């Protein structure tokens, strides 16, 4: 039905009508054709043509069909039968009687093979059927293609009426499966429609040949899914690439190259299996063709202009990719197996997660290429958006606006590709103007299993790749045991990307020869599949046999290529043995060449700027576009701009202005600023308004921050797709590329960041520790309980704080460099600013630091418009800086000895507290101190404040519940700050978020306890554990460690925890005996809500009651 309907639809437009006639007529003389098309053209202008439905010859033909069908449904072709049955056809009033000026089909003077007469209905039916069959193959041929190397899913061929066995079955051909053609029709010539290229130079072919060619193209080792693509041009492009005769012919040189690459891929796994038989490596066996496949994609892309490829991939085949695609030195890879300690900072990661970056000559294209594999966590697919962000950033910095020079390749497992939602979320970034990377090639290493689970139980979609259909990406399924088919698909994929700059997917259907890892037993769960696998020859052997049989190479050559590679491996293996340490820096995926060199690692550049700069930015930010007369701005926004201008004139800034000052001044200094997130252009709370929209012209916008200075850096602010996971991952990736950029992601409300939790846990908080990779990404998280109910109240700051790596029990040495050393040592910064000026400074400090740390910033909602939450320009101009703590500057601060109570707090509750204090007239009795930078904890300033108010009671007041907010983080740190001591109850381990250590993976550490040598290893990798079992008298100072350490020239923090600990110990302060100092000094108590399960109450009245209670409690003496 669909086919017939399509044919019919084609008849509707004059052009389509021509097409229709063209394919129907086998050999019409040009004159006849001209007559027919002229008639069609005339029809365009007659009254009938104005009808929205068909007319003319086709219409009358359809009507004839319809009438015949009404009389006897079996008298018409099954396609017409189905069509009319579907009620899709309604006879329009103008169809009968036939208009006098229309041309019935019989007016065509058929010539050539059809005898120069009007075609009979069988001829037409047969042509329609052939076209429908061609279309069926194109649309659904993949359903019957021979994709499974194990043959488990491969369907048997069926014998057609003509006696030939074919794969295309009912699923493919539907109503045409038992089509009317018999053997007698097989030699009949059929005109080929313009939507097929199987004919090559031939305009018509015998039916038998048509079917054979279609079988070969669509139901062989490649299954192409593309007919859902809405663009006819793209569909035709793909048809041409697969249907043109001879596309799968490879030259002997090409074949030998494939064989050589496959030999390396296979040899690498075999070598590792031989040398490290009990190690997990997540080998590629069963899908080794992925390596030549990636190389082919890179070769073709390089040939087409790509200079840099950024890859993201999971565990499977990762080492092989590093070795044979990136050409990472084999000895560096083998060193990872040796369980060596690291020579540099960081806790490291397991070998099959590490990234790399390599620049090398592509020998095939003779062009230089950069290859990066982005380090990834165990969380499958989490790296996808990170890779995209990094790619986008690299394109941006190279001015590669169309993605011609930089591209990304994402490699997936079959189970993860369909199972993980972030794949879908990432796909949806693919065509967004500010997020597109102009086409990603996705490669699925489809081994038809996920750990122990069959696809039958892990997905509801027919293919693991169906998610890609949503973005109209063509999907090329291919049997991984057919190297030439795979190479062809890869070539097409690379050309597709270069032509259309859209995503596409290669589904390499292979198998997994071993268990999930090399130690797993797959027969427990997939016995039948593995019986087959055990008998199945590997791809290399199959291909070598084929090439030998056809005479492309000899058995000796095959052997010698393999032996040569094994030699290379042996040499690298010997070299690896001489290594004593691994270096994490060798595994860095985003080196920042030049950034660290020549920098004083303890120097922060000033963050205040000249007042005239602030005024200039303020004036620009509050002005309409230069063509204001034509640009119609919303009246409400004119008021916003006017209010901004008034503030600038008064030299004060509210939140939005403070932010604009930070952005504008950085842009002036050549720092690219990129802000992304849901609705960030306006701002969720309608306070930002960076993009002004012309009220009468679509897409006419003005962004003043892009027009501050003629030579400024680019500013980009982008409303994102409604995804946190992918977008935060993307921005993290973006921030990895260039340290000289301020990249910010804003959550709509802070709580929504939890849907990006894997990015936060796996990348942002632990990335430097695991992968020596730094990022200065800023997360803006609206936070604060304002009676809006439990949602939207909390960014769950307690979780971020719990992941902060500063030691609660350790007071670092006090010096002028206290703050910067703390920042250097921690994994990220968590802050909650109460003033626009401090917000401005902390943003600028991100760039002023000589290193990069992620910044987690609780941002306000009501403070955006709070009359007191404003800062004078003097707090942002030269000489001013970020205040980690804002002391009480009122009567209490001026007369500290009279103060009875000091209330420490953070965030917006400060304004409630001061209001209550004023109401109660306790300004001299109670000091309120704001902790603006919560982590790393300002031990030094807290101590200073506590000393200032010697006689006062100390409390921490927070609006969040006791088990939430900052209390659990600040409490032990307050005790340490107040008593300058270490806690007794903790063992000696310094906090560190990344919970793996150095080079040895966790499993090995656990099993290591079995042997003496291994327990030594354990002691090395977990010194705190061994210390727990030493006598107290042994655990004093470590004579080998310096009493105080200077940061080395390369500014790596001391590499091992015990060294770091001693390095941090204040000079002259001896370690406490056994680390046991009891805390008997001052205390801090908690004021606020009790513990709670939800972040806030749903009742506004209750919220106010609770808030008042805590304010009363805090502000009382």
Interface with ligand TPP (CB under 6 A): 316, 378-380, 413-416, 445, 447, 449-451, 512, 516
- State which residue, 312 or 413, has the beta carbon closest to Mg ion: 413
Bond into 513 cis (ω within 30): no
Residue of minimal CB distance from ligand TPP? 413
Per DSSP bridges, beta strands 901-905 and 953-961 are parallel
Minimum distance, C-beta of residue 444 to ligand TPP, in the bound complex (Å): 9
Are the beta carbons of 804 and 622 closer than 8 angstroms?
no
- State which residue, 449 or 1107, has the beta carbon closest to ligand TPP: 449
Residue 523, token pair as written in the block: 């027969």
Are the beta carbons of 1111 and 908 closer than 8 angstroms?
no
| DSSP label at residue 519 | T
Minimum distance, C-beta of residue 449 to ligand TPP, in the bound complex (Å): 6
Minimum distance, C-beta of residue 465 to Mg ion, in the bound complex (Å): 13
**DSSP 3-state assignment of 103?**
coil
Minimum distance, C-beta of residue 556 to Mg ion, in the bound complex (Å): 36
Report d(CA 1066, CA 1043) in Å as an integer: 8
Site string for Mg ion, 362-401 (x = CB under 5 A): ----------------------------------------
Question: From the list ligand TPP, Mg ion, none, which binds 102 (C-beta under 5 to 8 Å, kind-based)?
Answer: none
Minimum distance, C-beta of residue 353 to Mg ion, in the bound complex (Å): 17
- State which residue, 380 or 842, has the beta carbon closest to Mg ion: 380
> Could you count the other beta carbons within 10 Å of the beta carbon of residue 279?
17
Are the beta carbons of 487 and 293 closer than 8 angstroms?
yes
- State which residue, 152 or 984, has the beta carbon closest to Mg ion: 152
Minimum distance, C-beta of residue 377 to ligand TPP, in the bound complex (Å): 8
Between the alpha carbon of residue 164 and those of residues 128, 592, 825, the distances in Å are 22, 63, 73
Are the beta carbons of 390 and 374 closer than 8 angstroms?
yes
Answer yes or no whether residue 510 interacts with Mg ion by CB under 5 A: no
| DSSP label at residue 606 | P
> Could you count the other beta carbons within 10 Å of the beta carbon of residue 551?
8
Per DSSP bridges, beta strands 406-413 and 367-373 are unpaired
Residue 780, token pair as written in the block: 């803006």
Beta strands in 640-796 (DSSP E): 652-653, 672-677, 692-693, 701-702, 715-719, 741-746, 778-782
Tally of helices (H runs) and strands (E runs) in the chain: 39, 30
Minimum distance, C-beta of residue 147 to ligand TPP, in the bound complex (Å): 16
- State which residue, 447 or 994, has the beta carbon closest to ligand TPP: 447
Are the beta carbons of 346 and 769 closer than 8 angstroms?
yes
Q: Which residue has tokens 């009949």?
A: 188
Question: From the list ligand TPP, Mg ion, none, which binds 1071 (C-beta under 5 to 8 Å, kind-based)?
Answer: none
- State which residue, 119 or 450, has the beta carbon closest to Mg ion: 450
Question: From the list ligand TPP, Mg ion, none, which binds 727 (C-beta under 5 to 8 Å, kind-based)?
Answer: none
Question: From the list Mg ion, ligand TPP, none, which binds 561 (C-beta under 5 to 8 Å, kind-based)?
Answer: none
**DSSP 3-state assignment of 94?**
coil
Residue 1080, token pair as written in the block: 């008997």
- State which residue, 449 or 652, has the beta carbon closest to ligand TPP: 449
The set of residues, in sequence order, having a beta carbon less than 8 Å from that of 932 and lying 6+ positions away, is 831, 832, 833, 834, 838, 842, 882, 883, 884, 885, 886, 906
Q: Which residue has tokens 């490669």?
A: 443
CA atoms within 13 A on the CB side of 1087: 25
308, 447, 914, 998: which one contacts Mg ion (CB under 5 A)? 447
**Helical H segments across 193-324, by residue range:** 207-218, 232-243, 252-275, 290-303, 318-324
Minimum distance, C-beta of residue 244 to ligand TPP, in the bound complex (Å): 34
Are the beta carbons of 739 and 731 closer than 8 angstroms?
no
- State which residue, 317 or 893, has the beta carbon closest to Mg ion: 317
Minimum distance, C-beta of residue 395 to Mg ion, in the bound complex (Å): 31
**DSSP 3-state assignment of 25?**
coil
- State which residue, 316 or 1022, has the beta carbon closest to ligand TPP: 316
Residue 940, token pair as written in the block: 């030094």
Are the beta carbons of 814 and 879 closer than 8 angstroms?
no
- State which residue, 416 or 742, has the beta carbon closest to ligand TPP: 416
How many residues bind to Mg ion according to rule CB under 5 A?
6
Q: What is the dihedral of CA 357, 359, 362, 367, to 10 degrees?
A: 140
Question: From the list Mg ion, ligand TPP, none, which binds 255 (C-beta under 5 to 8 Å, kind-based)?
Answer: none
Minimum distance, C-beta of residue 734 to ligand TPP, in the bound complex (Å): 22
Question: From the list Mg ion, ligand TPP, none, which binds 977 (C-beta under 5 to 8 Å, kind-based)?
Answer: none
**Cα dihedral 178, 183, 184, 190 sign:** positive
- State which residue, 522 or 854, has the beta carbon closest to ligand TPP: 522
- State which residue, 413 or 776, has the beta carbon closest to Mg ion: 413
Closest CA to 730 of 692, 685, 775: 775
- State which residue, 380 or 736, has the beta carbon closest to Mg ion: 380
- State which residue, 512 or 908, has the beta carbon closest to ligand TPP: 512
Question: From the list ligand TPP, Mg ion, none, which binds 1030 (C-beta under 5 to 8 Å, kind-based)?
Answer: none
Minimum distance, C-beta of residue 225 to ligand TPP, in the bound complex (Å): 19
Question: From the list Mg ion, ligand TPP, none, which binds 380 (C-beta under 5 to 8 Å, kind-based)?
Answer: ligand TPP
Minimum distance, C-beta of residue 455 to ligand TPP, in the bound complex (Å): 9
Minimum distance, C-beta of residue 756 to ligand TPP, in the bound complex (Å): 13
Minimum distance, C-beta of residue 7 to ligand TPP, in the bound complex (Å): 41
Report d(CA 73, CA 1) in Å as an integer: 14
Stretch that binds Mg ion, among 35-43, 335-343, 441-449, 1095-1103 (CB under 5 A): 441-449
Question: From the list Mg ion, ligand TPP, none, which binds 378 (C-beta under 5 to 8 Å, kind-based)?
Answer: ligand TPP
Minimum distance, C-beta of residue 321 to Mg ion, in the bound complex (Å): 16
Question: From the list ligand TPP, Mg ion, none, which binds 257 (C-beta under 5 to 8 Å, kind-based)?
Answer: none
Are the beta carbons of 769 and 377 closer than 8 angstroms?
no
Question: From the list ligand TPP, Mg ion, none, which binds 657 (C-beta under 5 to 8 Å, kind-based)?
Answer: none
- State which residue, 770 or 884, has the beta carbon closest to ligand TPP: 770
Are the beta carbons of 1115 and 920 closer than 8 angstroms?
yes
Site string for Mg ion, 401-440 (x = CB under 5 A): ------------xxx-------------------------
Minimum distance, C-beta of residue 281 to ligand TPP, in the bound complex (Å): 12
Q: What is the 3-state secondary structure (H, E, C) of 62-75?
A: HHHHHHHHHHCHHH
User: Phi and psi (nearest 5°) for 907?
Assistant: 80, -165
Minimum distance, C-beta of residue 761 to Mg ion, in the bound complex (Å): 24
- State which residue, 416 or 902, has the beta carbon closest to ligand TPP: 416
The Cα diameter of the chain in Å comes to 115
- State which residue, 267 or 314, has the beta carbon closest to ligand TPP: 314
CA angle 1022, 1028, 1030 (to 5 degrees): 110
Residue 903, token pair as written in the block: 């209330």
Provide the binding-site residues for Mg ion, judged by CB under 5 A: 413-415, 447, 449-450
């Amino acid at each position: 039905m669909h086919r017939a309907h399509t044919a019919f639809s084609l008849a509707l437009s004059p052009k389509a009508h021509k097409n229709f006639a063209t394919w129907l007529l086998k050999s019409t003389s040009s004159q006849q054709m001209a007559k027919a098309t002229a008639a069609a053209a005339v029809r365009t202008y007659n009254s009938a043509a104005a009808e929205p439905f068909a007319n003319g010859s086709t219409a009358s033909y359809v009507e004839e069909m319809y009438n015949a069908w009404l009389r006897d449904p079996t008298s018409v072709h099954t396609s017409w039968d189905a069509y009319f049955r579907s009620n899709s056809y309604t006879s329009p009033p103008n169809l009968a009687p036939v208009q006098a000026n229309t041309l019935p089909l019989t007016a065509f003077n058929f010539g050539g093979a059809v005898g120069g007469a009007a075609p009979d209905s069988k001829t037409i039916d047969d042509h329609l059927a052939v076209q429908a069959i061609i279309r069926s193959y194109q649309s659904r041929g993949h359903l019957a293609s021979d994709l499974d190397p194990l043959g488990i899913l491969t369907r048997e061929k069926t014998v057609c009426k003509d006696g030939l066995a074919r794969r295309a079955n009912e699923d493919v051909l539907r109503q045409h499966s038992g089509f009317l053609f018999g053997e007698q029709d097989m030699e009949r010539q059929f005109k080929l429609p313009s939507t097929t290229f199987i004919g090559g130079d031939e305009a018509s072919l015998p039916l038998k040949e048509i079917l054979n060619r279609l079988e070969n193209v669509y139901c062989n080792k490649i299954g192409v899914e593309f007919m859902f693509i809405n663009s006819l041009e793209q569909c035709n492009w793909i048809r041409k690439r697969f249907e043109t005769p001879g596309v799968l012919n490879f030259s002997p040189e090409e074949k030998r190259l494939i064989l050589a690459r496959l030999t390396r891929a296979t040899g690498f796994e075999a070598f590792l299996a031989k040398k490290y038989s009990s190690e997990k490596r997540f080998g590629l066996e069963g899908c080794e063709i992925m390596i030549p496949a990636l190389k082919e994609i890179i070769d073709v892309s390089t040939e087409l202009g790509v200079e840099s490829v950024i890859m993201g991939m999971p565990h499977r085949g990762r080492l092989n990719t590093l070795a044979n695609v990136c050409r990472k030195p084999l000895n560096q890879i083998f060193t990872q197996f040796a369980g060596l300690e690291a020579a540099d900072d960081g806790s490291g990661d397991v070998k099959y997660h590490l990234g790399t970056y390599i620049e090398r000559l592509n020998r095939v294209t003779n062009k230089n290429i950069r290859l990066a594999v982005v380090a990834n966590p165990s969380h499958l697919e989490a790296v996808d958006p990170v890779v995209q962000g990094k790619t986008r950033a690299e394109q941006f910095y190279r001015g590669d606006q169309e993605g011609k020079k930089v591209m990304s390749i994402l490699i997936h497992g079959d189970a993860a590709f369909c199972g993980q939602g972030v794949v879908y979320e990432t796909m949806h970034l693919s065509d967004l103007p500010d997020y597109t990377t102009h086409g990603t090639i996705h490669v699925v290493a489809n081994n038809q299993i996920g750990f122990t689970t069959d696809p039958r139980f892990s997905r509801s979609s027919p293919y693991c790749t169906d998610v890609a259909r949503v973005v109209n990406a063509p999907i090329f399924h291919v049997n991984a045991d057919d190297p030439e088919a795979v190479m062809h698909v890869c070539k097409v994929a690379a050309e597709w990307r270069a032509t259309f700059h859209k995503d596409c997917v290669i589904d390499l259907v292979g198998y997994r020869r071993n268990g999930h890892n090399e130690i797993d037993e797959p027969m427990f769960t997939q016995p039948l599949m593995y019986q087959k696998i055990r008998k199945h020859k590997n791809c290399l052997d199959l291909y070598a046999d084929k090439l030998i049989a056809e005479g492309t190479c000899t058995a000796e050559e095959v052997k010698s290529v393999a032996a040569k590679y094994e030699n290379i491996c042996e040499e690298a293996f010997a070299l690896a043995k001489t290594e004593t340490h691994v270096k994490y820096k060798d595994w860095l995926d985003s080196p920042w060449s030049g950034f660290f060199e020549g920098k004083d690692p303890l120097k922060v550049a000033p963050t205040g700027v000249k007042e005239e700069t602030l005024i200039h930015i303020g004036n620009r930010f509050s002005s309409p576009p230069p063509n204001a007369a034509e640009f119609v701005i919303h009246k409400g926004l004119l008021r916003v701009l006017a209010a901004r201008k008034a503030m600038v004139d008064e030299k004060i800034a509210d939140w939005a202005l403070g932010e604009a000052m930070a952005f504008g001044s950085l842009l002036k200094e050549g720092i690219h600023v990129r802000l992304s997130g849901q609705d960030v252009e306006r701002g969720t709370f309608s306070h930002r308004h960076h993009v002004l929209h012309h009220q009468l012209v679509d897409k006419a916008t003005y962004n003043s921050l892009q027009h501050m200075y003629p030579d400024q850096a680019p500013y980009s602010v982008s409303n994102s797709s409604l995804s946190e996971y992918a977008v935060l991952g993307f921005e993290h990736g973006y921030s990895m590329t260039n340290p000289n950029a301020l990249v910010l992601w804003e959550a709509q409300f802070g709580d929504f960041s939890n849907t990006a939790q894997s990015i936060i846990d796996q990348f942002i908080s632990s990335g430097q520790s695991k992968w020596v990779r730094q990022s200065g990404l800023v997360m803006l998280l609206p936070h604060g309980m304002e009676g809006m109910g439990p949602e939207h109240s909390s960014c769950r700051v307690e979780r971020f704080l719990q992941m902060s790596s500063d030691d609660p029990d350790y007071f670092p040495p006090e010096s002028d460099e206290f703050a910067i050393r703390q920042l250097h040592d921690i994994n990220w910064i968590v802050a909650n600013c109460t003033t626009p000026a401090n917000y401005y400074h902390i943003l600028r400090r991100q760039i002023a630091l000589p290193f990069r740390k992620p910044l987690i910033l609780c941002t306000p909602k009501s403070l955006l418009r709070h009359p007191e939450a404003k800062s004078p320009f003097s707090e942002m101009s030269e000489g001013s800086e970020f205040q980690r703590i804002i002391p009480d500057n009122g009567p209490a601060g001026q007369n500290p000895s009279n103060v009875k109570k000091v209330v420490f707090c953070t965030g917006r509750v400060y304004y409630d507290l001061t209001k209550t204090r004023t109401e109660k007239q306790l300004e001299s009795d109670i000091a309120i101190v704001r902790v603006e930078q919560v982590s790393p904890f300002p031990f030094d300033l807290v101590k200073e404040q506590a000393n200032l108010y010697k006689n006062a009671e100390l409390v921490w007041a927070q609006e969040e519940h006791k088990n939430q907010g900052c209390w659990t983080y600040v409490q032990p740190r307050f005790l340490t700050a107040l008593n300058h001591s270490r806690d007794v109850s903790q063992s000696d381990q310094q906090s560190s978020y990344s919970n793996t250590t150095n080079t040895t993976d966790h499993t090995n550490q656990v099993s290591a306890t079995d042997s003496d040598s291994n327990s030594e290893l354990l002691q090395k990798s977990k010194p705190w554990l061994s210390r727990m079992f030493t006598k107290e008298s042994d655990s004093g100072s470590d004579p080998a460690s310096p009493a105080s350490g200077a940061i080395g020239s390369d500014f790596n923090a001391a590499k091992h925890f015990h060294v770091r600990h001693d390095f941090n110990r204040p000079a002259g302060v001896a370690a406490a005996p056994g680390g046991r100092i009891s805390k008997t000094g001052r205390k801090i108590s908690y004021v606020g809500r009790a513990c709670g399960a939800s972040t806030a109450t749903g009742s506004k009245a209750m919220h106010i009651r609770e808030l008042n209670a805590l304010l009363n409690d805090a502000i009382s003496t």
